[in-house]
Amino acid sequence: MSKIGFIGLGNMGGPMVANLIETGHSVAAFDLVPDAVARAVASGATAADNAAAAAADAEVVVTMLPAGAHVRSVFIDDDKIIDTVGAGTLLIDSSTIDVTTAREVIAVAADKGLEMIDAPVSGGIGGAEAGTLTFMCGGTDAAFGRAEPILAAMGKNIFHAGGPGSGQAVKVCNNLMLAIQMIAVSEGFLLGEKLDLDAQKLWDIVSTATSQCWAMSSYCPVPGPVPTSPANRDYEAGFTVAMMLKDLKLSQEAAASADANTPLAAHATELFDAFASSGRNAELDFSAIIRQIRDS
């Protein structure tokens, strides 16, 4: 069992810490929000005074932060964890961030002789609580091999996607495809409505036909056909519009830096941006994008 420093104890980090402790690891925890630290302590962690203190004696440091700027701040610019951790400390960043920053931070760590992987997740808060997250990892074979047993305490499916930044690259490609699929399913069901089709009948047929996809079969954006989908509870999240917009913006940054053509993702970003900016939509489940399409 390992001594772990965990930084970022929000909706995801909090339950991830609980699962690390449940499986016998010891955790020194830090967040800028004192209540988040208190919750981690209630689940068995030790409170650290700051990020560097959480990392100081750790064999493994895990971060679960909002965005690339926070990850840079903790590892390089402000808390300077890369400069202060002991030799041999393994660094794992599970935040969803831009590929460029992920590669940059891992390169700075490598210059100091430290192994680091990017390991963003899918599975949401439910997956974090149940310990069933999917981890998509980027880094060397050696770093991934050391990280895998730690990640197994928090997740079910742990993939090594390739070199540094590859985990973030997979995550951004996945969510780009998901956003476009959700918009496509929304358009299909809204057209069906205008053509006097019954939504259940449409679903029964297309969910076994060539347009079948997860956004339709497991997460249908109209109420009825999939009783567990957020459409049946007024689009209570789930995975929020704000988070999908964040990931779509990351996809557009990645596309620009790699000179990739992503016309549908560019339009999806505009639709999610417009929807998030009006009313209180940002905290709805991302499948509520059907309302933007219906109303525009």
**CA dihedral (82, 84, 86, 92) positive or negative:** negative
CA-wise closest residue to 272 among 252, 244, 251:
244
> Among residues 35 and 141, whose Cβ is nearest to ligand NAD?
35
Catalytic-role residue among 80, 112, 156, 171 = 171
Coil, helix or strand at residue 223: coil
151 binds ligand NAD (CB under 6 A): no
84 binds ligand NAD (CB under 6 A): no
- Beta carbons within 8 Å of 184's beta carbon, 6+ residues apart: 211, 213, 215
Instruction: Write each residue from 110 to 149 as x if it is in contact with ligand NAD (CB under 6 A), else as -, in one continuous string.
Output: -----------xx-xx------------------------
68 binds ligand NAD (CB under 6 A): no
Instruction: Write each residue from 13 to 52 as x if it is in contact with ligand NAD (CB under 6 A), else as -, in one continuous string.
Output: x----------------xxxx--x--------------x-
CA atoms of 270 and 266, how far apart (whole Å)? 7
**CA dihedral (120, 139, 58, 77) positive or negative:** negative
Least distance between ligand NAD and beta carbon 180 (Å) = 18
- Ranges of beta strands (E only) in the chain are 3-7, 26-30, 46-47, 60-63, 90-93, 116-118, 121-122, 133-138, 155-162
170 binds ligand NAD (CB under 6 A): no
Residues in 206-265 at the binding interface with ligand NAD, rule: CB under 6 A: 239, 243
Whether 249 is catalytic is no
Strands 133-138 and 155-162: parallel
CA atoms of 293 and 170, how far apart (whole Å)? 27
CA atoms of 182 and 203, how far apart (whole Å)? 14
Least distance between ligand NAD and beta carbon 66 (Å) = 5
Q: Pick the stretch among 63-71, 105-113, 156-164, 227-235 that binds ligand NAD (CB under 6 A).
A: 63-71
Q: How many residues sit close enough to ligand NAD to count as binding (CB under 6 A)? A: 27
> Among residues 174 and 217, whose Cβ is nearest to ligand NAD?
174
> Among residues 77 and 270, whose Cβ is nearest to ligand NAD?
77
Work out which of 10, 15, 155, 167 binds ligand NAD, going by CB under 6 A. Answer: 10
Cis bond upstream, residue 238 (ω within 30): yes
Work out which of 1, 49, 66, 112 binds ligand NAD, going by CB under 6 A. Answer: 66
- Beta carbons within 8 Å of 2's beta carbon, 6+ residues apart: 25, 26, 59, 60, 150
Work out which of 19, 89, 95, 251 binds ligand NAD, going by CB under 6 A. Answer: 95
Least distance between ligand NAD and beta carbon 161 (Å) = 16
Least distance between ligand NAD and beta carbon 202 (Å) = 29
Q: 190 - beta bridge partners?
A: none
104 binds ligand NAD (CB under 6 A): no
One-character DSSP codes across 27-84: EEEE-SSHHHHHHHHHTTPEE-SSHHHHHHT-SEEEE--SSHHHHHIIIIISS-HHHH
The residues annotated as belonging to the active site are 171
Residues binding ligand NAD (CB under 6 A): 7-13, 30-33, 36, 51, 64-66, 70, 73-74, 95-96, 121-122, 124-125, 239, 243
